A and B are shown apart, each in its own frame.
Chain A
Amino acid sequence: MSLLEVRNLTISFGGLRAVDDFNIEIKKGQLYGLIGPNGAGKTTVFNLLTGVYKPNEGIIKLEDKDITGLKTIDINKAGIARTFQNIRLFKELTVLDNVKVGLHNHYHYSTIEGILRLPKYYKVEKEMDERAMELLKVFELDGEAEYLASNLPYGKQRKLEIARALATDPKLLLLDEPAAGMNPNETGELMDTIRFVRDKFDMTILLIEHDMKLVSGICEELTVLNFGRILAQGQTGTVLNDPQVITAYLGE
């Protein structure tokens, strides 16, 4: 059984078909890449998968459960988490709190218990702190736990966004251009981090990227989008050597 199965996904804006008959199958534990020129519809696919847009046609199944047309929050609860092209952190919250927001649906106490500071508040907050710090340690952000998220350098902000997404305990992690704005060193580090996340968290990862070093370095399979349609799909090596793909891209 595949973790994510998408069939015939289509959406139009006005008269324009932004995504046309998109199909994909991702198996559990895969590192999958979604590439294509700018404007090809990659982020739109992400938006469709996470419920930001409702598709005009098609079906999305997560672990055989139909999640087509569900609201973003329900899709997150079903097990898809994402990061964004333009980093979306909670700027006025600390690094730790950003992750704790990610833990929101997994640790509960009622509003009254919180306001009255009943014992459950302290117990659960302690658990959340510990879990959040665990996650931060994975990304070497534990030293900056008390920093305002907006004060982190860019590379660390990216990592924080991934940590927060992981805190929601997803089955599928969508990363939208995680290497954007990074130098080769940082990209290398990111590649290790992504591999590590997949291994340690038993995660399935679908990522959008332009950085071919990263794509060829860690992605096992690829789908290439062009003008909203699939241009090529399959093993990374094969796809990257496909003459049509090379033409569409005209270099990196």
Chain B
Amino acid sequence: MKKLRMTKTAKNNFVTYFIVLIAYIVVQMLLKTGHMSSLMEGLLVPLCIYVMLAISLNLTVGILGELSLGHAGFMCVGAFSGAFFSKCMDGAMPNGIRFLVALLIGAAVAGIFGILIGIPVLRLKGDYLAIVTLAFGEIIKNLVNVLYIGKDNNGFHFSMKDSISLHLGEEGQVIVNGAQGITGTPHDAGFTVGILLIFLSLFIILNLINSRDGRAIMSIRDNRIAAESTGINITKYKLMAFSISAAIAGVAGVLYAHNLSTLTALPKNFGYNMSIMILVFVVLGGIGNIRGSIISAVILTLLPELLRGLSDYRMLIYAIVLIAMMLFNWSPKAIEWKDKIKEKYFSKVSFRKEKEVK
């Protein structure tokens, strides 16, 4: 019995990995045979980033069961700490190692922020938690925009006012330039790295879910009071899920930072708009459904591009498609209608034995 069960969930996860692998192979083939438009090519790394953001947010929203509207804040923290490190260490160590360390730093800093923010925030209930995470995300974005860090022979200089206040020496260099962000981060990361990072993130998240800690986290989601009575340390597991989710978002941020010439914190990349967009991916793909998050992140990112032909109308159509999909997937009447169709054409009565955690 036990062996069968392990294999079932493992089988399910394998499918997820397989899908990512196939996608990678297909893309590589298209690239090699010149069948990929430069537009699509430019989307490859962003797709990886959005996928990582979506699956990490699903850990918080779908597995832990808490609504976070500030996920972009963790991406921001990871991006800036990773880029800062890379800019400082550019040339001081082999590029591959430098990038790896930047990833680790981005993950660590974001994870720490996750814990620091999580401690006060995770005590709050539902909607209050949501608004506070949104607030933190906005604060982080704002703070980064007034951050000035420079380096010279005397070490690091820090200011919240402007770059002149840094009082840099002759050989000094401004690294973080307030609203102008960080310029000249080395370009390290391509699509292959992105896919590898997705595999890593999946490995961490899927293995966490299917483990003792994962069950503890889900028990909190399903019934906090019962979990407490069963001896689960609520605070510990809430923080664990939240910080791992933040760390992976941080990694996505590092990937993002190393794909731009200039890294700035704007409303559209690190503001609540981004956080909300990722939440849309998560809900549409299925709350708690990791594989679904991957698919919906890809589809919803590609959709506006595929609709480019309709130029002016494409965002409008995107919005309509979003509303329609939500109504179709979530309204009880639509679900009823779908069940009727299923019964009519697929006569096998499906006794929902196990909802596999994807």
Contacts and interface: CB of A to CB of B under 8 A. Distances in A.
A/B touching: CB–CB < 8 A: yes
A143 to B, nearest CB: 10
B212 A114 contact: yes
A92 B223 CA distance: 10
B284 to A, nearest CB: 19
Interface stretch (A18-26, A98-106, A230-238, A242-250): A98-106
A188 B297 CA distance: 53
A151 B353 CA distance: 8
Contacts of A145: 1, 5
Nearest to A98: B219
Contacts of A151: 351-352
Chain B interface secondary structure, helix, strand, loop or mixed?
Answer: helix
A90 interface: yes
Contacts of A100: 212, 215
A1 interface: no
A107 interface: yes
Contacts of B305: none
A226 interface: no
Interface string A130-165: 100100000000100111100100000000000011
Contact of B213 (A52, A107, A114): A114
B2 A101 contact: no
Contact of B203 (A50, A72, A115): A115
Interface in A82-102: 82, 84, 88-94, 96-97, 100-102
B225 interface: yes
B349 to A, nearest CB: 13
Chain A interface secondary structure, helix, strand, loop or mixed?
Answer: helix
Interface in B209-251: 211-216, 218-219, 221-223, 225-234, 240
Contact of B231 (A73, A92, A129, A130): A73
B223 A90 contact: yes
B78 interface: no
Contacts of A68: none
A117 interface: yes
Contact of A115 (B211, B223, B231, B352): B211
A185 interface: no
B222 A93 contact: yes
A92 B2 CA distance: 19
B57 to A, nearest CB: 18
B43 to A, nearest CB: 30
A117 B210 CA distance: 10
Contacts of A111: 208, 211, 213, 240
Nearest to A165: B230
B6 interface: yes
A92 B355 contact: yes
A165 B203 CA distance: 32
Contacts of A5: none
A104 B232 contact: yes
- Among A52, A91, A104, A130, the one with the most B-chain Cβ atoms within 10 Å of its Cβ is A104
Contact of A104 (B203, B212, B352): B212
Interface in B8-61: none
A82 B212 contact: no
B216 A104 contact: yes
A90 B208 contact: no
A76 interface: yes
B100 interface: no
B288 interface: yes
B312 interface: no
A92 B222 contact: yes
B184 to A, nearest CB: 35
Contacts of A101: 215-216, 219, 227, 230, 232
A205 interface: no
Nearest to A167: B230
Given A72-B229, A111-B208, A93 B354 contact: no
B222 A94 contact: no
Given A76-B231, A114-B212, A115-B204, A92 B288 contact: yes
- Among B218, B221, B229, the one with the most A-chain Cβ atoms within 10 Å of its Cβ is B229
B288 A104 contact: no
B25 to A, nearest CB: 25
Given A94-B354, A102-B231, A115-B207, 5 more contacts: A84-B229, A91-B223, A100-B212, A101-B232, A115-B204
Interface of B: 1-2, 5-6, 203-204, 207-208, 211-216, 218-219, 221-223, 225-234, 240, 288, 351-355
State the 9 A-B residue pairs at the shortest beta-carbon distance, nearest first.
Answer: A114-B211, A88-B226, A90-B222, A76-B231, A129-B2, A72-B228, A115-B207, A105-B231, A101-B219
19 contacts: A52-B225, A76-B229, A76-B231, A82-B229, A90-B218, A90-B219, A90-B227, A92-B222, A93-B215, A97-B215, A101-B227, A108-B212, A111-B213, A114-B207, A126-B2, A129-B2, A148-B355, A165-B230, A168-B231
